[in-house]
Amino acid sequence: MKVLVTEKIDGRGIELMRKRGLQVDEKLNLERKELLDIIGNYDALIVRSATKVDRELLDSASKMKVVGRAGNGMDNIDVKYAVERKIECINAPDSNSIAAAEHTIALLLAVCRNLPKGDSTLRDGLWERSRLMGVELYDKTVGIVGLGRIGKMVAARLQAFGMRTVAYDPFIPELDMARLNVKKVDTIDELMKICDFITVHMPKTKDTIGLIGEEELKLAKKDLRIINCARGGLVDENALYTALMEGRIAGAGIDVFVEEPCTGNPLLTLDNVVATPHLGASTREAQVKAGIMTAEKIAAILLGEEEMTGTR
């Protein structure tokens, strides 16, 4: 059985598969044509977020049994078509939850306390204490859009700061939220009206793209600060840019963008935006877990130790 790895994963995952008797080829940074030319030789494919596993690629993968994404989500994989082709799709959803939750908190604090600007101006020889006045988290209301694994971790951590936590998630019952000391709201509009901070933790689907857009931002408090460490496009970038430029909201922390790399994004020109290059899962610990979890699932499926279910 042959496994193709097109993006860097932790070496312990590679070693695990080879010890199980699989032939593993690491071919990083392949051109699209090169990938299409060789994919038919492989029984499994492991990617992260850059490789687009679309219809064209899947149609060329004549021997493919399983596609694995070493991380959370499968936005870059055409899962529906893969399942039609009887190709299993797997990922490692728990591998980067802690990393993403912690990065959310880091961005939130950086936005509140002007940390990047304070660092850069001090290095430039300036001492701008009065200009870089921040705000506290204590006794403020944070709205969490999506109370899944990461959303729950973020809620618990922000409660430790003395914040009131409310959440919008139509799939989580009110009683379950209450057990987490989180108040349920039924609409995004309600959330926008009452929150001092909003952090987004929804998957990217046709229903969640633009979930927070122009109309929603019109309802926001003037001192709202919004964080997106989930997926690019859940918060409409153009609407967010306009709201920040016009001073209708106070700031934003953004780790994910519609187009990546995004070095020319207009949001990067604003002083009230703290941006990072999709670092939510970029910890040593998360990368080790993602590589090992993905490798274990790939090996189990190829060696017939687990039944194929379509997605997991």
Q: How many CA atoms lie within 13 A of 103 on its CB side?
A: 26
Q: Reduce the DSSP state of residue 225 to 3 states and report it.
A: strand
**For residue 17, what are the contacts with CB-CB under 8 A and spacing of at least 6?**
3, 24, 295, 298, 299
CB neighbour list of residue 121: distance below 8 Å, 6 or more residues apart: 128, 132
Q: Is 278 known to be catalytic?
A: yes
Helix, strand or coil for residue 133? coil
Alpha carbon of 97 to those of 43, 67, 205: distances in Å?
Answer: 29, 21, 19
- CA–CA separation, 45 and 65 (whole Å): 9
- Taking the C-alpha atoms of residue 18 and residue 299, their distance in angstroms, rounded to an integer, is 9
* Helix axes of 11-19 and 284-302: crossing angle, nearest 10 degrees: 20
- For this structure, is 88 an active site residue? no
For the record, the structure tokens of 80 come out as 């529906």
Selecting among 260, 285, 305, 312, the annotated active-site residue is 260
What sign does the dihedral 80-68-144-184 (CA atoms) show?
A: positive
Measured in whole angstroms, the distance separating CA 306 from the mean position of its chain's CA atoms is 28
- Which amino acid does the sequence have at 52? K
Instruction: Report the Cα 36 to chain-centroid distance in Å.
Output: 27
- Alpha carbon dihedral 185, 186, 190, 194, in 10-degree steps, equals 0
* Catalytic position from the list 69, 201, 225, 231: 231
Whether 231 is catalytic is yes
The one catalytic residue among 48, 103, 225, 278 = 278
Residue 26's DSSP bridge partners are 5
- Residues designated as active site: 231, 260, 278
